[in-house]
Structure 1
Amino acid sequence: MLHRQKLTSLEICAGAGGQAIGLEQAGFEHTALVEHNSDACDTLALNRRQWEIFRQDVRDFDPLRDAGIDHVDLLAGGVPCTPYSEAGRQLGNADERDLLPEALRLTEILRPKALMIENVETLAVQKKFAGTRKALSERLTDLGYKFHISVLDAQDFGVAQRRRRTVVVALRNDIPAKFQWPSQKWELAPTVGHVLEESMASNGWPGAAEWARGASRVAPTLVGGSMKHGGGDLGPRRSKLEWARMHVNGNSTAEAPPGPDFVLKHAYGKNGWEGYPKLTYSQAALLQGFPPDWKFSGSRTAAYKQVGNAFPPPVAQAVASSIAEALTSAAGERAA
């Protein structure tokens, strides 16, 4: 009888743990997580004391010297989106914050069986990044990997949010099994109201059920801002207008859900969302697909930035499960 092999992972740019949760749920055991942001590192440690967390710039990280690691099954990471996002001026590999080269450096050192990298949608679809995609594919091919790239939308995996992200997967050429992208699992994603009604009512607000009926669609993409700028509200004006259609005030976040005296007011002036409740960062985390018991460290704004910059755990789990299936079936073929 064959037993499923234990699969190991090393994650860079781990943030608040969105991808790490998904990998864990897919059966990967983390050997190390690398993250430079102190609040995010504290969040990881707060929730998983057993994880080995390295608080440092990934450009300075040597897996053997720093962690005693010379091989893992999966190297994963959500490298910074700023070089490829509209808000970050889309400088690509000319941006000093671009850490795709570090993912390739560690791939060459560790020779993992698989690689999984997440970034913004534009990396996969915009013509201006065709050269980056070609260079990435060629480098991974030179290193002995099969290159896959796709855009996945979080709402297709049960997340109450439109969030389209580029995911790069590469399997080493000696892995005989073929990688298959996870299929869409939800025909209709849960709505914001469905996900947040209980939380909105948790502080005694009697209008939560009425509010939830009005919040009858999925959320726009949560925006966390960079670690240096932004993150105090739910995004630019166009995003706030989308939130207002679901009776949410996107001007800032709240310390707590509405209390018993909160009155829902429908205002139709210049800032028509001002009579609506604001989201707490914990509510934003629910819309991002984090487990309800996941805790965040740091100030309210710092916590919201961690949430807004995260890879939704259900999407990470789906991709990682497909990788795990390829790796374990390959092991089974060898053992047969």
Structure 2
Amino acid sequence: MKTIEMCAGAGGQALGLHNAGFEHEVLIEIDEHACSTLRFNNEKLNLGWNKIVEGDLKDFANFSAAAYQGEIALVAGGVPCPPFSKAGKQLGADDERDLFPTALKIVQSVKPLMVMLENVPGLAESKFQPYRDAITSHLSDLGYLSEWKVLQASDFGVPQLRPRMILVAVQKPHFKHFEWPEPIDTPTPTVGDALFDMMSEKGWEGVERWREMADGIAPTLVGGSKKHGGPDLGPTRAKAQWQALGVNGHRVGSLEEVPGPGFKGVLMRNGTIRPGTEGMPLLTVPMAAKIQGFPADWSFVGNKTNAYRQVGNAFPPPVAQAVGEKLMEVLRIVQGEYRAA
């Protein structure tokens, strides 16, 4: 049940797969703040993740991956999204940040039973069909059958419209055992319901009225990159969507800015309330993490910008868990077939 987790970030996918029953043998992540987050939670929550490698995935592919051949059931990860994101130039294979080839090199070296890769829904566009076909063909040459599918986070209890493109590959004799997860039966909480306890913890009198306003699912959180984006909730369109939910999306708030008694609105630098946002609170990093599907006991290491970037770029743990549980079913069937043989 061991895994290799590539581009682990703050651990959204890793946590979901852990909750599905997988055991992480090694996690690779290049960002120092995200690695600190992984180490901190691994120790605090006693997760038992064996090795957290802070470094370039290409170095791991070239020098370390082959040592894990025959020991790994699942190679998983979320390779960088800028080559396929609508927020960028969508250069695909021509983008130097494209790590799909590196991920496939690791698969070739490790020879796991299964592979799971996630990315932005932009990868599902018709312009990238040849690229997807090339990956599918390469995996076939390596002995895998594979399938792409866009999953919506809100179908799995995450109060956010966050579609993700998922690739699952399984060794050819066993792919027949894999099925995609179905949306859960229970209603997805609204932003108001999900954040009510956090918004009311300091005694804000207007929190009930705010919950009624926040009666919907959040737009996709945007984490930004080291070059672009900061601790705010995205471009103008996203800010407008947050405002419709009663949230001031112009920046991410500090814990000191959680609304308390007498809260009227977020102040600007000159001490006046930002026009058009009266009574609209800011999201804090823990609130954004709740919107992303992280549990309350998951901590993020770094200043506000670094912490929010980790949250905004994460893969929602409940979605990863849902796919992981289906992969675990495949693993158990295969293990049973080997025992029977």
Residue pair 2:265, 2:278 contacting (<8 A) in 1 also: no
TM-score, normalisation: structure 1: 0.93
Contact kept in structure 2, 1:26 and 1:318, CA below 8 Å: yes
1:203 offset after TM fit, Å? 2.3
Which secondary structure does the structure 2 equivalent of 1:84 belong to? coil
Deviations 1:157-185 (A, max 9, x none): 00000111000000012326521000111
> Are positions 1:221 and 2:225 aligned together?
no
Cα offsets for 1:276-298 (capped at 9, x unmatched) = 10000110000000011100001
Q: Kindly provide the amino acid, as one letter, of the partner of residue 324 in structure 2.
A: A
Contact 2:33 2:306 in 1 (8 A): yes
Q: What are structure 1's unaligned runs of at least 5 residues?
A: 1-6
Counterpart CA distance in 2 for 1:200 and 1:147 is 43
SS of the residue corresponding to residue 209 of structure 2 reads helix
Over 3 Å counting, the alpha-carbon distance change for 1:324 and 1:237 in structure 2 is: same
Letter in structure 2 aligned against 1:120: V
**Selected match of 2:303 from 282, 293, 299:** 299
Partner of 1:116, secondary structure, is: strand
Alignment of 1:154-173 (within 5 A): 154-173=153-172
Distance 2:66 2:286 in 1: 32
> Deviation per CA, 1:288-318, whole angstroms, max 9, x where unpaired?
0001110000110111110010000000000
Measure the CA separation in 2 of the matches of 1:63 and 1:10.
15
Of 13, 30, 33, 1:36 maps to 30
Partners of 1:298 and 1:87 in 2: how far apart? 25
| SS at 1:166 equivalent | strand
Once residues 139 and 62 of structure 2 are traced to their aligned partners in structure 1, the CA distance between those partners, rounded to angstroms, is: 19
Deviation digits for residues 35-87 of structure 1, max 9, x if unmatched? Answer: 00000000001100342110001011148748953331000001011100011
Would the aligned equivalents of 2:146 and 2:170 in 1 still touch at CA under 8 Å?
yes
Which sits farther off after the overlay, 147-156 or 68-77? Answer: 68-77
| 1:128-147 matches, cutoff 5 A | 128-147=127-146
- CA apart distance, 1:188: 3.1
Question: Residue 328 of structure 1 is aligned with which of 316, 329, 332?
Answer: 332
Q: Scaled by the length of structure 2, what TM-score is found?
A: 0.91
Partner of 2:264: 263
The 8 Å contact of residues 74 and 113 in structure 1, kept in 2 or not, is answered as yes
Shifted more, 209-218 versus 246-255: the winner is 209-218
Q: Distance in 1 between matches of 2:149 and 2:2?
A: 24
Q: 1:207-249 CA deviation, whole Å, 9 max, x = no partner?
A: 2222112100010011111233203210111111110111100
- What is the letter of the counterpart of residue 261 of structure 2? P
Letter in 2 for 1:41: C
CA distance in 2, matches of 1:334, 1:186: 34
> Could you tell which deviates more after superposition, 178-187 or 30-39?
178-187
For 1:260, give the aligned amino acid.
P
Partner Cα separation in structure 1 for residue 174 and residue 319 of structure 2: 23
What fraction of aligned residue pairs are identical, expressed as a percent? 48
Structure 1 residue runs of 4+, over 3 Å off?
62-68
- Root mean square deviation, CA, Å: 1.9
Contact 1:281 1:307 survives alignment (8 Å): yes
Q: Give the secondary-structure state (helix, strand or coil) at the position aligned to 2:187.
A: coil
Distance 2:171 2:286 in 1: 38
In the alignment, the residues of structure 2 paired with residue 212 and residue 282 of structure 1 have an alpha-carbon distance, to the nearest angstrom, of 18
Letter in 2 for 1:263: K
Provide the rounded CA distance (Å) in 2 between the counterparts of 1:216 and 1:116.
33
Is the contact made by 2:6 and 2:57 (CA closer than 8 Å) also made in structure 1?
A: yes
Confirm whether residue 289 of structure 1 aligns to residue 293 of structure 2.
Answer: yes
Query: 1:249 is matched with which residue?
Result: 248
Offset of residue 271 of structure 1: 5.6
**For residue 123 of structure 1, what is the aligned residue in structure 2?**
123
